[in-house]
Amino acid sequence: MALKLYAMTCGWLSLPEAALIEGGSADDLRIPVPCYLIVHPRGTALFDSGLGTVCQSECDDYMGDFASLMQVEFLPGEELKTRLETVEVDVAGVDYLINSHLHFDHAGGNEQVKAARLVVQRREWEAAHEPDLIAAIGYKPVDYDHGHDLLLVDGEHDVFGDGSVSCIPTFGHTPGHQSLRVQLDGGEVVLTGDACYLRRSLETLRLPPGAAHDRDSMQEALKRLRGLQARGARIFYGHDPDFWRGVPQAPARIA
């Protein structure tokens, strides 16, 4: 059995394009919130968990100060648990939950995957438990403090021990942001998370004005992604609506 990769949009955010890329327009861009499932002969892994179901009921209270910055659309049925049912995977039985980072639209669904081993960069986990950084970076501990069995990693990490799925550090957006390389029969895919919101971010190396904790590191991460692309990897942009229109949704596989 070969490895299988599935993509799922688990909700949408709308915010000014100018918040996503330097020089962007003031008009709102409606962006997808992606999650990915990997079915490997040695187990299952999620890359990010999307929004929390709290966004389907008490979103304004939960969003707090962020409520004025963006609109959230998250309909019942778009949450991870239901999306995974389309590929006959029980969210409670997933082996690994890999978070690119711990922002609410990437770790909000972690509470649905409590039995999984949580794979996160050590520096991300530490930053997300540092009171000053929680506020400055916009973490919400309610998203990720669920007592998961933790696997804190430092830099590259080979998830299944065969080189097919690897965490790669792409620090900068947050202190310990990571992306994921997945080796498919059809070639290598890189799931960028928020290291690269838009196709244009990679083409122009332009950063989001306010959403870079460390701009130099984020710039370096973009260059690293460019290097992987030049070697033939397909780049999956974290929140690019045009790109995502062409991505098959589960239960279809990414070939």
Q: ω into residue 16 within 30 of 0, thus cis?
A: no
User: Least separation, in Å, of the C-beta of 225 and Zn ion?
Assistant: 16
For residue 179 the two structure tokens come to 């992306």
- Whichever of 112 and 176 has its CB closer to Zn ion, that residue is 176
Closest residue to Zn ion, Cβ-based? 103
Please, what sign has the CA dihedral across residues 27, 241, 58, 128?
Answer: negative
User: Least separation, in Å, of the C-beta of 133 and Zn ion?
Assistant: 14
**Which residues are at the interface with Zn ion (CB under 5 A)?**
103, 194
Q: How many residues does the chain have?
A: 255
User: Least separation, in Å, of the C-beta of 203 and Zn ion?
Assistant: 20
Sheet holding 71-73, edge to edge: 71-73, 4-16, 28-40, 43-47, 96-98, 117-121, 149-153
User: Least separation, in Å, of the C-beta of 106 and Zn ion?
Assistant: 6
- Whichever of 111 and 143 has its CB closer to Zn ion, that residue is 143
User: Least separation, in Å, of the C-beta of 7 and Zn ion?
Assistant: 18
The 8-class DSSP code of residue 14 comes to: E
For the residues of 155-185, what is the DSSP string, one character each?
A: S-EESSSSSSEEEEE-TTSSTT-EEEEEEET
For the residues of 190-251, what is the DSSP string, one character each?
A: EE-GGG--SHHHHHHTPPPSS--SSHHHHHHHHHHHHHHHHTTPEEE-TT-HHHHHTSPBTT
- Cα→Cα distances 98→26, 121, 180, 196, 218, Å: 33, 9, 9, 17, 20
User: Least separation, in Å, of the C-beta of 242 and Zn ion?
Assistant: 20
- Whichever of 3 and 208 has its CB closer to Zn ion, that residue is 208
- Whichever of 79 and 194 has its CB closer to Zn ion, that residue is 194
